[in-house]
Amino acid sequence: MAIKALTLDTGGTILDWHGGISRAFAAAGARRGLQADWHEVTNEYRRRSLKGMVGQVHPAFNFDDVHRRVLDEVIAHYRLDALTAEDRDVIWRTWHALDAWPDFPAAQARLRRKYIVASLTLLTTSLVIDVSKKNDFGWDAIISCEMIGIYKTRPESYLTAAKWLQLDPSEIMMVACHNFDLNAARENGYKSVFVKRPAEWGPSGPPDPAPNPAHDLIVEDFPELATRLGA
């Protein structure tokens, strides 16, 4: 069946969370005279946050809540207790003000001329709205797992998105820089595109950089994706 919609992971695929959050940590640390490997602190923050959110079913919290809770945990773990309540608030709010990877906004506009282009994300609806206004994204829809109530990589998250789009899963391509998300989408009938994001985790590189060769497309960046899809 022909592809009619692209659903895009947003956290690492569209947003440079490592750059934004590690800079926020470093700035707060400098204010309090703290030394740390801010890249490592940032990646541990991300790992623990993802672990708290992936696969949740009707949680009483959302990803912003997890980011707030885990921030305190990570600060305690690295003995960065000199970071004040105000510092923590500034770091936490940075999630809603992240920059996009620069290849995305113009390519998104190309893709939207031919396809429905929707965010399908673990992040909160409000976060995606805020970063989209800041970075000039235009979505045909934001379909957050917060709205679905069931989080990736649970089958219901992909199947509900397809239901709301009124498409068969085989008419939808999941786009992400992570095999775990794409593999789960494929298991639920979606097509898959792996977009490489070698800088997603900063200098240490991503934990799972090699695309599963089963993906329908593997691309270096979003302009290549638009070109490969004829958009």
Q: Which residues bind a second copy (CB under 8 A)?
A: 64, 112, 116, 124-126, 128-129, 132-133, 138-144, 146-148, 164-166
In the bound complex, what is the minimum distance in angstroms from residue 208's beta carbon to a second copy?
A: 31
In the bound complex, what is the minimum distance in angstroms from residue 158's beta carbon to a second copy?
A: 15
- Our CB check for a second copy shows the closer of 58 and 79 to be 58
- Our CB check for a second copy shows the closer of 138 and 203 to be 138
Reference 181, options 148, 204, 215; nearest CA is 215
**CA angle at 102 for the pair 175 and 53, rounded to the nearest 5°:** 45
- Our CB check for a second copy shows the closer of 138 and 198 to be 138
Determine which helix (DSSP H) or strand (DSSP E) holds 117, and give its type and residue range.
strand 116-121
- Our CB check for a second copy shows the closer of 143 and 184 to be 143
Query: Residue 130, Cα to own-chain centre: how many angstroms?
Result: 14
Residues 231/110, Cβ–Cβ less than 8 Å: yes
Reference 185, options 157, 206, 212, 211; nearest CA is 157
In the bound complex, what is the minimum distance in angstroms from residue 51's beta carbon to a second copy?
A: 23
In the bound complex, what is the minimum distance in angstroms from residue 160's beta carbon to a second copy?
A: 9
**CA angle at 33 for the pair 73 and 47, rounded to the nearest 5°:** 30
